[in-house]
C-alpha cells in the first residue's frame, strides 16, 4: 500500500492531490469505488465520482438504512408512541404465539436497536429466519418463537429481523412508516432529494435495508448527526437518541476484523475514529468528530473482512491526516470514468440465448447509432411473480444509460459492450445499486457473472426498487 501521504504534498492546499491519492488507494484496495464525498466544518471540501454512477440516480445503500430506521425510532419515542424499554412482545402482540418463551418476551426496543436480542448468530441463520423472501407476520412469529440462547442486552449478533420489527412497530404505533417520518422530519428539512425504500410483504419499509438515496444526501444526513441532530438552528433529531446512537451499547469483540470489533451502538458501528453507518459491499458514512468531518463512500467491494478493513484503513491513512491539518475546500466534482468494454461493433450480427436463471436475452444492433439494445426477459420471482422484460441500451466505446420500468418499480442500468471474436460481451452497471453484471453470449452458451452477487436472489429483477419519492 502507498505511504500515508505523498512526498511533496502540502496538506491544506493540495486537496485535489490528497483526494486523488485516496481514490487511487481505494481502487488498489479493491473497493471498486463509485462515489466519494468529503465534508469538513459543515461544507463539502471534495468530491470524486466514477462514471457511469450518477448523482441523478439514488442508489441502494444496504444496511446504512438501519441508522435511518433507528432515527425514526428515536422520533417515535420522543413523540411518546412507545419507550425504549418497552418489549417487542408488548408492542406487537400478534407476533407472539404459544411458542414464544420468557426470554424472547423480554426483548426490548433498546435491545433490538443494539442488536442484542440474545439470539446467537447460528439461531438467526436457521432456514426459517434466513429466508430472503420479504418478511411478514409469520417471520416475526418465528423470530419470537426462537428462544434466545444468550442474554438480551448483553450478547450481540447481527440481526436484520430485529431492525425490521422496529420498522413495523414504528408504523404500528405512530400511524406513519419509517419513510414518511424520516422524509418529513429529517430529509426534507435538510434539503435531501429523491429517495425510496424497498418494502416488505405488507408494504412497510424493510428498515434493515432497501433505502435508495444519493451519496450527497447521505453526507448531509451524516452532517446532521455530527451536528448533534440540529440543522440551521432547529433540532430535528431527539437529544436522547443522538446521545445514545453513537456510543458503544454492546460488545462485539468476537467479530472478524478490527473495525468490526469495536462495539455496536444503536444501528451504528464504532470505529477507530468516530463511528459509522455501514452497508454491504462498502457503503459507508463515517462520522469523525475529532476532525469535524463526514466522509461518504459508495463502493462495490467484496465482503471479505480483510478487504473491508483495507478500505477503512485507506481513509485513516490518507484522508484523516489531511483533514487533521485542514482541507482547502474544492467542492467541484472530479469524475473518473470506468473503462468501457473493448470489442468491435458489427451491424450485421445479433445474438440470443438463455441464461442459467432462465432469462431469455436478445442483443440487437442499431446501425446508425452504433450501439445495441438488450431485450432481457426475466422469469418471475417471489417479489415480481410474472415475467418481465427489460430494454437495456448498450454503448459501443461508451456507457449508455437506461431507466427501465417494471410495473410501478424501476431499475437503472448503464451498459457498454462489444464483440470479442465470436462472443458478445457487455458490462451492466446497475447504477441504482452497487452492483455490476458481466454478460457473455457465444453460440454455445450464455453466461452472467456478478462482480459481487447481490444479497437478494433473483437476478436483475431482485434489484428493482419503487420509483423515488420526491
pLDDT tens-digit readout, 389-409 = 999 999 999 999 999 999 889
Query: Could you read off the pLDDT of 410-434 as tens digits, one per residue?
Result: 999 999 999 999 999 999 999 999 9
Residue 24 near residue 2 (C-beta atoms within 8 A): yes
The residue out of 217, 237, 270 marking a domain boundary is: 270
- Tell me the pLDDT band of 383, cut-offs 50, 70 and 90: low
Count of CB atoms situated within 10 Å of the CB of 415: 28
11 in a domain, yes or no?
no
Between the alpha carbon of residue 53 and those of residues 46, 64, 257, 301, 415, the distances in Å are: 17, 19, 29, 15, 11
Write down the pLDDT at residue 382: 66
pLDDT of residue 379: 86
Q: How many independent structural domains does the chain possess?
A: 2
pLDDT band per the 50, 70, 90 thresholds, residue 253? confident
Out of 44-58, 302-316, 327-341, 368-382, least confident range = 368-382
pLDDT tier at 139, thresholds 50, 70, 90: very high
Which of 235, 270, 305 is where one domain is finished? Answer: 270
Mark whether 193 and 99 lie in a shared domain. Answer: yes
Domain of residue 452, residue span: 351-466
SS3 125: coil
457 backbone φψ class: left, alpha, beta (φ>0; ψ -120 to 50): beta
CATH of the domain at 82: 3.40.710.10
Do residues 320 and 312 touch, judged by C-beta distance below 8 A? Answer: no
Cβ neighbours for 195, distance < 8 A, ≥ 6 positions apart:
58, 183, 187, 211, 212, 213, 214, 217, 468, 469
Tell me whether residue 433 is in a domain. yes
Q: Are residue 239 and residue 129 in the same domain, yes or no?
A: yes
Question: What's the CA gap between 456 and 462, in Å, rounded?
Answer: 6
What is the phi/psi pair of residue 70, to 5°? -60, -45
Pairing of strands 43-51, 333-337: parallel
3-state secondary structure of 337: strand
Amino acid at each position: 500500500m502507498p505511504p500515508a501521504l505523498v512526498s511533496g504534498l502540502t496538506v491544506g492546499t493540495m486537496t485535489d492531490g490528497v483526494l486523488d491519492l485516496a481514490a487511487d488507494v481505494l481502487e488498489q484496495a479493491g473497493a471498486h469505488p463509485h462515489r466519494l464525498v468529503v465534508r469538513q466544518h459543515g461544507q463539502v471540501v471534495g468530491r470524486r465520482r466514477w462514471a457511469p454512477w450518477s448523482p441523478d440516480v439514488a442508489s441502494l445503500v444496504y444496511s446504512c438504512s438501519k441508522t435511518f430506521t433507528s432515527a425514526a425510532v428515536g422520533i417515535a419515542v420522543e413523540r411518546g408512541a412507545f419507550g425504549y424499554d418497552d418489549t417487542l412482545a408488548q408492542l406487537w402482540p400478534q407476533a407472539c404465539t404459544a411458542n414464544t418463551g420468557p426470554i424472547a418476551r423480554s426483548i426490548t426496543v433498546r435491545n433490538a436497536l443494539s442488536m442484542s436480542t440474545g439470539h446467537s448468530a447460528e439461531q438467526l441463520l436457521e432456514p426459517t429466519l434466513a429466508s430472503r423472501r420479504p418478511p411478514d407476520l409469520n417471520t416475526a412469529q418465528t423470530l419470537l418463537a426462537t428462544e434466545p440462547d444468550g442474554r438480551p442486552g448483553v450478547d450481540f449478533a447481527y440481526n436484520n429481523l430485529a431492525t425490521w420489527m422496529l420498522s413495523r412497530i414504528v408504523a404500528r404505533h405512530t400511524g406513519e412508516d419509517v419513510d414518511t417520518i424520516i422524509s418529513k422530519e429529517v430529509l426534507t428539512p435538510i434539503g435531501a432529494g429523491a429517495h425510496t425504500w424497498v418494502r416488505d410483504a405488507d408494504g412497510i419499509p424493510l428498515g434493515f435495508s432497501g433505502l435508495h438515496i444519493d451519496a450527497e444526501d447521505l453526507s448531509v444526513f451524516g452532517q446532521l448527526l455530527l451536528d448533534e441532530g440540529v440543522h440551521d438552528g432547529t433540532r430535528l433529531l431527539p437529544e436522547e437518541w443522538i446521545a445514545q446512537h453513537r456510543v458503544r451499547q454492546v460488545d462485539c469483540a468476537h467479530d472478524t476484523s478490527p473495525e468490526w470489533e469495536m462495539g455496536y451502538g444503536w444501528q451504528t458501528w464504532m470505529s477507530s475514529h468516530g463511528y459509522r453507518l455501514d452497508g454491504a459491499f462498502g457503503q459507508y458514512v463515517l462520522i469523525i468528530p475529532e476532525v469535524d468531518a463526514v466522509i461518504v463512500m459508495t463502493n462495490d467491494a467484496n465482503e471479505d473482512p480483510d478487504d473491508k478493513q483495507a478500505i477503512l484503513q485507506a481513509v485513516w491513512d490518507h484522508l484523516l491526516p489531511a483533514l487533521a491539518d485542514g482541507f482547502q475546500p474544492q467542492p467541484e466534482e472530479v469524475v473518473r470514468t470506468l473503462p468501457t468494454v473493448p470489442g468491435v461493433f458489427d451491424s450485421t450480427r445479433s445474438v440470443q440465448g438463455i441464461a442459467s436463471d432462465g432469462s431469455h436475452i436478445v442483443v440487437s444492433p442499431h446501425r446508425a447509432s452504433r450501439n445495441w439494445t438488450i431485450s432481457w426477459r426475466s422469469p418471475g420471482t417471489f417479489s415480481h411473480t410474472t415475467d418481465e422484460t427489460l430494454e437495456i441500451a448498450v454503448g459501443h466505446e461508451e456507457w449508455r444509460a437506461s431507466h427501465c420500468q417494471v410495473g410501478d418499480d424501476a431499475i437503472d442500468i448503464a451498459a457498454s459492450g462489444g464483440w470479442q471474436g465470436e462472443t458478445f460481451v457487455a458490462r451492466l452497471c446497475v447504477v441504482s445499486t452497487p452492483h455490476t453484471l458481466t454478460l457473455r453470449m457465444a453460440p454455445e452458451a450464455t453466461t452472467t457473472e456478478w462482480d459481487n452477487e447481490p444479497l437478494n436472489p433473483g437476478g436483475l429483477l431482485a434489484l428493482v426498487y419503487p420509483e423515488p419519492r420526491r
